Amino acid sequence: MPVTSDDPLDEVLKPPPDETLEQRQIRLEREAEARRVSAAIDASIKAERQARRKKRIVRLLLLGQSESGKKIAMSFKILLSDRSLGKSTTLRQFQRLYTPTAFREERILWRAVIQLNIVRSIRTILDALSHPPPNSPYSSPRLRSRSISRSRPTGNLTNSPPFHPVTLDIMGNSHYNQSNGGVDMHFSYGSPPQYPPPLPPQQRSMHYNGYTQHDEDEYPDSDTEFTIANYSHPNVPGYNHGSPRSDPSASSTSTLNQTPLDALKARLAPLTHIEALLIARLVPPNEEEATHLAGPGEYQSGVDEVPSPTRSHFSHPNNQHQPPNHNGNGSGFSPGHSRNSSLRNQEIFIRPGAGWKGGLSRARVNGSGNIASTSGSSQRPMSAGNTGLETPDEPQEVLHACRKDLIQLWHDEGVREVLRRRKIRLEEGSGFFLDDLERVTSLKYMPTDDDVLKARLKTVGVSEYKFEMEVSAGRDSGAEWRIVDVGGSRSQRPTWVPFFDDVDAIIFLAPISGFDQVLAEDRTVNRLEDSVLLWKAVCSSKLLANVDLVLFLNKCDILEKKLKSGVRLAKYVRSYADRANDLDSVSKYLRGKFGAIHREYSPNPRKFYAFCTSVTDTATTAGIIASVRDMVIRQHLKQSKLL
């Protein structure tokens, strides 16, 4: 009696009813061969699985996803609050340390980013010169009156942003609340900010008072009271403006007259073309979003704190004031293409991954090279090298041709005065290369390691970078690292959630130098406060309850400069009171605060590791990254019961 089966495949696969002996023989041989191949595949899969088990995979998530976790994997995530605080720089540090060859070979690709950083800095200066503050150098009567009319306070708050008690969820989304109590992420402000602020600048503050205030000592409680000042700095002469003579190549520190200045601006007009060219090179053609042009506020931290009239011009597309252009009294820059001019405000960004590098690489090797793969050890750009003898490209040639004017502009005393009055502190911001113009505009310029770490390219999205350790690191040698980098701005934070799963450790970066600045995306929120809130959210997350947290209190180098220049933390964090205003005391205090939050908000007790970092500093960061790596590996091995 024939055996019946429910499987429709049986019907299809069964031998034909009129099969001859010869056909049967062939069929059986084929089936035997298929079984042999299948067994070989099974064996190979098994061997691969065993090999993967033996091979350690270190997953470093810059707020990104680890893999399934089925295999024995070292995985930890780097969680970074806010934007521009060093996630991508930390990633680059890992690459520099553990895949130095790949890092070196890719340095040339960063030249385009650095060129764009320079062009953007220059545009910031020229934009500022186009709208100089009243009675400052270069303010013609006409410009002066325009500037004054733009900068007058409105005298009423009808244009003020809504201002309510706010709850920040773990993703940084604000939820406005009617009440102020109960939930641990609530905080409130005592008074709304005035907007725009009155001129001339004067100290104005709003109070953040979300928690009970205590006197703190070495281990303060987690309640931090912030006073958010919208003017960040006292008018300390020379603050963050560097010395005009700091670049030995400076040809003069005199103030240009208006006419030579106009001539100089005209000579810099080709930078408009270069800017468009660089954007086209860096951004894939179909990435419409990423072609937005940056405005100054996005990459100079100095203006973030002041919602000045200049900023409001940049912030509101409908502002009556026309963007400057090279035909009028403008900066000499125009967007260089037909995009909406309001987009000039936005910082250029890339999707993470090496797509932009792939594009540049292809351009350089005429289509034959491609490093679109994110693997640091595979498919390197064929023409990349570290000889310093790279063929100069068009942007480099233009920058080289403009170098004297660029240097003169940057070292001009009148220009410095305008920047000072506008509170534009390029030196403090990201992607600052103007003190190195002589070097970086040379025709044979090859970015150094430090240059690559200093370069600024905003991240949007999530991407995993894989690389094999080139450098033997004890137990770590041969491990595969997977680092996921993400965009850190508030709008990007919802993309983090899926990556919270299956994590061994988190590195959280808090840019503590931002204590006197506000978020670009929400100018009612102090940057440090935002980090504190996000830290609380991460600590209290049940999803992450068993994950060890590592805290990087980052940008300590900028913090130190700020404190030394006379900016007092106590002005912004009232509970800091009359403690010493130096790096040691401030970092110790903030470390204590973050540690206390960690203790108070963690669902389960866990270890707390904190480091004061300047992740652009190669020497100090190397040691810190090595400690973190060892700690994570130890912890992982412990958990895997392999230790």
Ligand X SMILES: Nc1nc2c(ncn2[C@@H]2O[C@H](COP(=O)(O)OP(=O)(O)OP(=O)(O)O)[C@@H](O)[C@H]2O)c(=O)[nH]1
Give the residues lining the site for ligand X (CB under 6 A): 80, 83-89, 430-431, 453-454, 456, 458-459, 487-489, 554-555, 557-558, 614-616
* Residue 74 interacts with, from Mg ion, ligand X, none (CB under 5-8 Å by kind): none
Q: Which is nearer to ligand X, 102 or 453 (CB)?
A: 453
| Phi, psi angles (nearest 5°) of residue 207 | -100, 135
Residues of each annotated binding site for GTP: 453-459, 554-557
Residues 6+ apart with CB under 8 A from 42: none
Q: From CA 436, how far away is CA 438, in angstroms rounded?
A: 6
SS3 11: helix
Site for Mg ion, rule CB under 5 A: 87-88, 459
How many other CB atoms sit within 10 Å of the CB of residue 626? 14
Residue 594 token pair: 């973050």
User: Containing H/E element for 90?
Assistant: helix 87-98
Q: Angle at the Cα of 431 (from 231 to 125), degrees rounded to 5? A: 60
Q: At what angle do helices 394-411 and 110-130 cross, to 10 degrees?
A: 40
How many other CB atoms sit within 10 Å of the CB of residue 153? 12
User: Containing H/E element for 609?
Assistant: strand 608-612
Q: Which is nearer to Mg ion, 409 or 509 (CB)?
A: 509
Q: Residue 432 CB, nearest distance to ligand X (Å)?
A: 8
* Residue 291 interacts with, from ligand X, Mg ion, none (CB under 5-8 Å by kind): none
* Residue 56 interacts with, from Mg ion, ligand X, none (CB under 5-8 Å by kind): none
Q: Which is nearer to Mg ion, 240 or 459 (CB)?
A: 459
Q: Residue 558 CB, nearest distance to ligand X (Å)?
A: 5
* Residue 593 interacts with, from ligand X, Mg ion, none (CB under 5-8 Å by kind): none
Q: Which is nearer to Mg ion, 348 or 633 (CB)?
A: 348
Residue nearest to Mg ion (CB): 459
Q: Residue 263 CB, nearest distance to ligand X (Å)?
A: 32
Residue with tokens 């963050």, as numbered in its chain: 240
Residue 446 token pair: 């090859």
Q: Which is nearer to ligand X, 129 or 279 (CB)?
A: 279
Q: Residue 87 CB, nearest distance to Mg ion (Å)?
A: 5
Q: Which is nearer to ligand X, 301 or 526 (CB)?
A: 301
Q: Residue 57 CB, nearest distance to ligand X (Å)?
A: 23
SS3 164: coil
Residues of each annotated binding site: 453-459, 554-557
In sequence order, the β-bridge partners of residue 621 are none
Q: Which is nearer to ligand X, 274 or 520 (CB)?
A: 520
Structure letter (DSSP) for residue 180: -
Residue 217 token pair: 């000592």
Q: Residue 461 CB, nearest distance to Mg ion (Å)?
A: 10
Q: Residue 88 CB, nearest distance to Mg ion (Å)?
A: 3
How many other CB atoms sit within 10 Å of the CB of residue 117? 27
Residues of each annotated binding site for Mg(2+): 459
Q: Which is nearer to ligand X, 351 or 606 (CB)?
A: 351
* Residue 616 interacts with, from Mg ion, ligand X, none (CB under 5-8 Å by kind): ligand X
* Residue 86 interacts with, from Mg ion, ligand X, none (CB under 5-8 Å by kind): ligand X
CA distance between the termini of the chain = 60
* Residue 441 interacts with, from Mg ion, ligand X, none (CB under 5-8 Å by kind): none
Strands (E), 261-410: 349-350
Strands (E), 224-378: 226-229, 349-350
Q: Residue 409 CB, nearest distance to ligand X (Å)?
A: 21
* Residue 453 interacts with, from ligand X, Mg ion, none (CB under 5-8 Å by kind): ligand X
Q: From CA 372, how far away is CA 564, in angstroms rounded?
A: 44
